């Protein structure tokens, strides 16, 4: 192995690491606010990438119908809830209609737009508009009713949601993978390295998103409120910050991060309906390195996972996954020896 | 519940129970395919092909029970056990990929039920007795590729394959043939179906300076090493295996697939093979029927492998019916014997000649070499 190959591998590792970093951040965020280990995170990557690919093919992605269907279920639940409370006539119908307004608009927009000749940036926006709202809806349907359940129950529900979404992905997008068109075909040559425009996009967008999240959590009221919820849920509730709203906002952010990651990597690799799980799992390894609580450590861990994966695939490709996932064992050992964690429950 | 209601429930459930039992003497075919999970690209066309199988063989009605194993060997085992113990099937068909087919083989051998696997699995002789396969043995396919490499003057070959049984089987098939032809393997790399990058492996291959590269993968994942090799500026010949020959591979790899050579069953290029080819007629009819039902361009060679199971059964069942009634152990034994003595059975992928030692049965009539040209397949003269 010479210096040039090492450079290539590092470049590949950093691109992968940037995506894992985003997913790790989302996992840490969701876990610290809602205590949910967000297994379906990877599905947003796959759904984002495949929705984008379907739009580029000029077809209506089936995810819009999922959005409409999930919203309809949420609306029915709202009606039933208000019906039991006796407020059906006053606010019930209005609240239910409000839930359906946004998905109906997205469906109308998707059907009305000439999908085949849209500029790429509009397609990205449309993909985000379709896929991201699925995340808060997921929180409403699957996690909000059991928000106070133990971590293990939440984990099991997360696994169930993941399995259901993977199954839907197969029905929506078929078994074969797709690639999307690159955002730009430009490439920069630095010495022996040939960096493609898309790789720059991935790293730059990841860095920008991480910075934006950091600003959001340190400088905005909502960000601070989310952090407060992460530190002490009951305390935040006493201060008038609704944990339901915190949950929805967190899921919205996680969905945004996942979908954006999917849209970003779709031009450099082939995405299948079930690709998301493995990508999400590697993000999870990174999040574990950060102890599921620290954003900078998780980002550093993600970079480590990306580089390790890239170099392992050069030296011992047959054991690549083994090497990446074995990383978790020394980290867990070290963490369990050094930290004295007190269970809140 | 009153006693009367109880009785009604009992009668009803008894009636239901008998209704689900197949009528006596119908032939029951148990099918377990990977129509979801990582093997879905293979399992879905195979399931479609099963739906096209005629409902009658040799004057007997045939019931097909189709289950999905999700590309999971333990689910495949469960399916096979259910089919054998609850549905008393006469023959098992499946599964789509090597690991789950191996799982079904265990049940087939244990319960003395003939199995027609749709994946080219290798078994030790003592387990081989009840198991037959429709796809070409990897040796047959590898033989065609190595012959082409030799002709083209390839001296050094790079190898990148799935890190599963498919990659391993190909490596063991191709190695002795390469040694014989005087071709050396420069490096043996592995990757997974779900990998998002193979840059590391490809760098290593390109650094080892081979004349050609063999990619052992299936469907669209096979496009990942293909595109990575081209992006790294690899100029040599790229060979793919028959599992890559599907529309999704061509779509994902796009222009980077041009010039790739792969061995496949003649059914995939049925309109290009000479009229003298034994499979020309049946293959043409099947492709036409398949595309009429599932849309033009939907055909993939996997559907052909599944449908060949029907061709084998159609030839073997009449002989077995003479010996015993379906649903009995004697019938299963007779069916196995008849399958083993299949002679010149023409399927869509070629001609089967089974012997006690060879439960694959396909010879060189079961493969052709093609080159990808302008997003389509071009038959190469052999």
Q: Does A9 touch chain B (CB under 8 A)?
A: yes
> Confidence band (pLDDT; 50, 70, 90) for A274?
confident
pLDDT at residue B148 in the model: 94
Which residues make beta-bridge pairs with B30?
A: B65, B92
User: Where exactly does CATH 3.40.50.2300 map onto chain B?
Assistant: 3-136+299-366, 138-264
Q: So what's the pLDDT on residue B103?
A: 94
Please indicate, yes or no, if residue A343 is contained in any of the structural domains.
Answer: no
- Taking CB atoms and an 8 Å cutoff, what residues of chain A touch B203? 5, 8-9, 314
CA distance A69 to chain B (A): 23
Quick one: pLDDT at residue B19?
A: 46
Handedness of CA B236, B241, B245, B248 (dihedral sign): negative
Q: Is CATH 3.10.110.10 the classification given to domain B3-136+299-366? A: no
Which residue in A170, A178, A269 is closest to B196 by CB distance?
A269
Contact A274 B37 (CB under 8 A): yes
- Does residue A320 have a pLDDT over 90? no
d(CA A270, nearest CA chain B) in Å: 7
Mean pLDDT of A89-117: 87
Q: What is the pLDDT of residues A121-167, one digit of tens each?
A: 899 999 999 999 999 999 999 999 998 889 999 999 999 999 999 99
pLDDT at B12: 53
Asked if the C-beta of B38 comes within 8 angstroms of chain A's C-beta atoms, the answer is: yes
Radius of gyration of chain A (CA): 21
Interchain contact, B203 vs A177, CB within 8 Å: no
Q: In this complex, is the C-beta atom of A270 within 8 Å of any C-beta atom belonging to chain B?
A: yes
pLDDT for res B347: 93
Tell me, yes or no, if B36 comes closer than 8 A to chain A by beta carbon: yes
Q: Return the residue in A165, A318, A322, A325 with the most chain B beta carbons within 10 A, the one to mutate for interface testing.
A: A318
Mean pLDDT of B122-139: 90
Structural domain that includes position A161: 3-338
Residues of B in contact with A177 (CB under 8 A): 220-221, 223, 248, 252
Specify the pLDDT at position A297: 85
Each residue of B216-255: pLDDT tens digit?
998 888 989 999 999 888 999 999 998 888 888 888 888 8
Q: Is residue A324 within 8 Å of residue B211, measured between CB atoms?
A: no
- Record the tokens describing residue B39, joined without a space: 């093997």
Pick the residue with more confidence: B42 or B115? Answer: B115
Which two tokens mark B188?
Answer: 């043996």
**What pLDDT is recorded for position B20?**
47
Residue found under tokens 């020896």: A337
Q: Does the domain at residues B138-264 carry the CATH identifier 3.40.50.2000?
A: no
- 8 Å CB contact of A175 and B223: no
* Pairwise pLDDT comparison (B32 vs A228), residue with the higher score: B32
Q: Give the per-residue pLDDT at A240.
A: 85
B324-339: average pLDDT: 93
- Residue A270's pLDDT is 86
- In the prediction, which pLDDT does B313 show? 94
Query: pLDDT tens digit string along B135-177?
Result: 998 888 999 999 999 999 999 999 999 988 888 889 999 999 9
Q: Can you tell me the distance from the alpha carbon of A34 to that of B280, in angstroms, rounded to the nearest whole number?
A: 62
Which DSSP category does B23 fall into? P
pLDDT over 90, % of chain B:
59
- The pLDDT of residue B237: 94
For range A263-291, the mean pLDDT: 88
Question: Which ranges of A193-240 would DSSP assign to H, the alpha helix?
Answer: 197-219, 221-231, 233-238
Interface of B with A in 289-348 (CB under 8 A): none
A235 touches chain B (CB under 8 A): no
pLDDT of residue A49: 94
> Which chain B residues are Cβ-neighbours of A178 within 8 angstroms?
220, 251-252
Closest alpha carbon within chain A to B254? A179
Residues from chain A that touch B195, judged by Cβ atoms under 8 A, are 313, 320
Going by pLDDT thresholds of 50, 70 and 90, the confidence category of residue A118 is confident
Judge whether A344 lies within some domain: no
The predicted pLDDT at position A148 comes to: 85
pLDDT at residue B32 in the model? 95
Calculate mean pLDDT across residues B261-270.
Answer: 90
B278-308 pLDDT, tens digit per residue, is 999 999 999 999 999 998 888 888 999 999 9
Q: Does the pLDDT at position B118 exceed 70? A: yes
How far CA A325 is from CA of A57, A277, A317, A322, B362, in Å, comes to: 36, 14, 14, 5, 41
Between strands B212-216 and B237-240, the pairing is parallel
CA distances from A314 to A10, A307, A311, A322, B216 (A): 11, 11, 5, 14, 18
Whether B22 has a pLDDT exceeding 50, the answer reads no
Residue A180: predicted pLDDT: 84
Tell me: the pLDDT tens digits for A8-17? Answer: 888 889 988 9
Number of domains, chain A: 1
Inspect the interface and report whether the beta carbons of A314 and B200 lie closer than 8 Å: yes
Question: What are the chain B neighbours of A265 within 8 Å (beta carbons)?
Answer: 196
Q: What is the chain A residue with the closest CA to B42?
A: A175
For residue A313, give the nearest of B43, B200, B223 by CB distance: B200
Find the helix or strand (DSSP H, E) in which B133 lies: strand B131-133
Contacts of B219 in chain A (CB under 8 A): 175-176
CA atoms B38, B41, B46, B47: torsion sign? positive
Average of per-residue pLDDT values in chain A: 87
Task: Report the gap between the CA of A232 and the closest CA in chain B (Å).
Answer: 38
Give B305→chain A minimum CA distance, Å.
18
pLDDT grade, residue A64 (50/70/90)?
very high
**Interface membership of A320 toward B (CB under 8 Å):** yes
Q: What is the dihedral of CA B161, B164, B167, B168, to 10 degrees?
A: 130
| A334/B12 Cα distance (integer angstroms) | 62
| pLDDT(A344) > 70 | no
pLDDT score recorded for residue B5: 58
And the tokens for B267? Answer: 């059914």
pLDDT at B133 over 50: yes
Q: What are phi and psi of B216, to 5 degrees?
A: -110, 95
């Amino acid at each position: 192995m010479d210096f040039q190959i090492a450079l290539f591998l590092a470049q590949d590792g950093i691109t992968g690491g940037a995506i894992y970093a985003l997913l790790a951040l989302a996992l840490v965020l969701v876990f610290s606010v809602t205590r949910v280990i967000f297994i379906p995170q990877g599905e947003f990557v796959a759904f984002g990438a495949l929705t984008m690919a379907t739009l580029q093919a000029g077809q209506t992605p089936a995810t819009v119908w999922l959005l409409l269907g999930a919203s309809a279920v949420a609306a029915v639940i709202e009606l039933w809830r208000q019906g039991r409370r006796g407020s059906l006539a006053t606010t019930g119908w209005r609240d239910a209609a409000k839930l359906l307004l946004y998905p109906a608009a997205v469906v109308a927009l998707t059907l009305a737009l000439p999908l085949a000749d849209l500029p790429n940036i509009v397609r990205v926006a449309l993909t985000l508009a379709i896929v991201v709202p699925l995340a808060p809806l997921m929180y409403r349907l699957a996690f909000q009713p059991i928000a106070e359940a133990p971590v293990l129950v939440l984990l099991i529900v997360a696994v169930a949601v993941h399995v259901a979404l993977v199954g839907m992905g197969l029905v929506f997008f078929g078994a074969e993978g797709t690639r999307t068109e690159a955002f730009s075909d430009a490439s920069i040559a630095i010495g022996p390295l040939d960096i493609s425009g898309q790789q720059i996009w991935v790293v730059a967008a990841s860095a920008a998103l991480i910075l934006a999240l950091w600003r959001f959590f340190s400088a905005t009221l909502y960000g601070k409120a989310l952090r407060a919820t992460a530190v002490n849920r009951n305390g935040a509730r006493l201060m008038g910050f609704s944990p339901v709203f915190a949950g929805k906002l967190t899921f919205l952010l996680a969905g945004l991060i996942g979908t954006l990651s999917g849209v970003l990597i779709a031009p450099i690799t082939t995405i299948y309906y079930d690709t998301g799980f493995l990508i999400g799992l590697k993000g999870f390894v990174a999040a574990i390195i950060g102890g599921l609580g620290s954003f900078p450590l998780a980002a550093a861990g993600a970079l480590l996972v990306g580089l390790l994966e890239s170099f392992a695939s050069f030296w011992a490709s047959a054991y690549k996954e083994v090497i990446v996932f074995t990383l978790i064992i020394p980290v867990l050992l070290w963490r369990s020896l050094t930290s004295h964690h007190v269970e809140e429950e | 519940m009153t006693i009367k209601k109880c009785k009604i429930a009992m009668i009803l459930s008894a009636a239901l129970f008998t209704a689900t039992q197949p009528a006596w003497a119908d032939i029951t075919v148990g099918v377990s395919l990977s129509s979801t999970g990582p093997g879905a690209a293979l399992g879905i066309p195979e399931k479609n092909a099963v739906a096209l199988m005629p409902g009658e063989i040799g004057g007997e009605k045939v019931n097909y029970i189709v289950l999905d194993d999700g590309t999971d060997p333990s689910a495949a085992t469960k399916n096979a056990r259910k089919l054998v113990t609850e549905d008393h099937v006469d023959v098992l068909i499946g599964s789509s990929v090597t690991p789950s087919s191996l799982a079904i083989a265990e049940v087939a051998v244990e319960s003395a039920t003939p199995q027609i696997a749709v994946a080219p699995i290798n078994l030790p002789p003592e387990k081989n007795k009840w198991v037959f396969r429709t796809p070409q043995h990897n040796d047959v396919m590898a033989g065609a590729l190595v012959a082409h490499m030799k002709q083209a003057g390839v001296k050094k070959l790079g190898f990148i394959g799935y890190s599963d049984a498919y990659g391993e089987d190909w490596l063991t098939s191709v190695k002795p043939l390469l040694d014989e032809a005087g071709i050396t393997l420069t490096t043996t790399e592995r990757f997974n179906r779900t990998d998002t990058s193979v840059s590391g492996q490809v760098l290593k291959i390109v650094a080892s300076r081979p004349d050609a590269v063999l990619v052992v993968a299936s469907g669209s994942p096979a496009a990942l090493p293909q595109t990575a090799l081209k992006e790294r500026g690899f100029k040599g010949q790229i060979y793919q295996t028959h599992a890559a020959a599907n529309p999704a591979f061509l779509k994902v790899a796009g222009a980077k697939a041009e010039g790739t050579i792969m061995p496949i069953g003649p059914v995939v290029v049925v309109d290009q093979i000479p009229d003298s080819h034994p499979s020309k007629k049946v293959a043409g009819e099947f492709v036409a029927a398949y595309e009429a039902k599932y849309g033009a361009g939907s055909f993939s060679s996997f559907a052909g492998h599944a449908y060949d199971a029907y061709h084998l059964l159609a030839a073997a069942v009449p002989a077995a019916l003479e010996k015993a009634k379906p649903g009995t152990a004697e019938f299963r034994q007779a069916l196995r014997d008849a399958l083993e003595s299949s002679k010149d059975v023409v399927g869509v992928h070629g001609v089967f000649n089974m012997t006690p030692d060879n439960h694959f049965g396909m010879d060189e009539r079961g493969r052709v070499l093609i080159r990808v040209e302008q997003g389509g397949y071009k038959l190469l003269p052999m």
